[in-house]
């Protein structure tokens, strides 16, 4: 029987999705404009130009769509707190390996009323609602894990 998590922390979905979708749309638009610019500089027949425009638009829309689907799946994934570790998808960090529990905020976090905690070892808790005080809880878990390890 698999181990059950002690606590599940959901991300703020708006915070995780809106900036990602916005950047995907901007980058896809820039890519398509680059294709249009290149086509205008090259002497091509009208039929070929239409085909290249259509194919590149389809490719851009597919890439943006796939990026949005992956973002939605990542935003729906919770952080799982177990007795000895935190897990996010396939990534995990043991409490004894956590080096930092200080929260951090950037401009986007301030807009969406969220914060992040860089736990070290390339493990980051992102898009945490500002109403959830997670730092003291994490600090207690780290201290307990270090005491019981010895």
CA angle centred on 131, ends 21 and 101, rounded to 5°: 85
Q: What is the spatial distance between Cα 125 and Cα 9, in angstroms, rounded to a whole number?
A: 10
Q: Lay out the sheet containing 91-94: strands in order across.
A: 7-9, 79-81, 85-88, 91-94
Residues with Cβ within 8 Å of 3's Cβ and at least 6 positions away in sequence, in order, are 82, 83
Q: Structure pTM? A: 0.81
pLDDT tens by residue, the chain, 150 residues: 788 999 999 999 999 999 999 999 999 999 999 999 999 898 889 899 999 999 999 999 999 999 999 999 999 999 999 999 999 999 999 999 998 899 999 999 999 999 999 998 889 999 999 999 999 999 999 999 888 876
């Amino acid at each position: 029987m698999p181990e059950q998590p002690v606590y599940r922390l959901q991300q703020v979905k708006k915070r995780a999705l809106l900036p990602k979708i916005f950047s995907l749309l901007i980058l896809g638009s820039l890519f398509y404009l680059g294709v249009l610019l290149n086509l205008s500089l090259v002497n091509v027949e009208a039929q070929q130009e239409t085909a290249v425009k259509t194919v590149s638009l389809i490719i851009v829309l597919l890439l943006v769509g796939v990026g949005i689907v992956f973002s939605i799946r990542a935003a729906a994934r919770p952080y799982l707190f177990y007795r000895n570790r935190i897990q996010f998808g396939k990534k995990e960090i043991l409490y004894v390996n956590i080096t930092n529990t200080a929260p951090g905020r950037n401009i986007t976090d301030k807009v969406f009323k969220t914060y992040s905690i860089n736990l070290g070892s390339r493990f980051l808790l992102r898009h945490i609602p500002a109403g959830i005080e997670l730092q003291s809880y994490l600090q207690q878990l780290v201290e307990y894990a270090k005491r019981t390890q010895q």
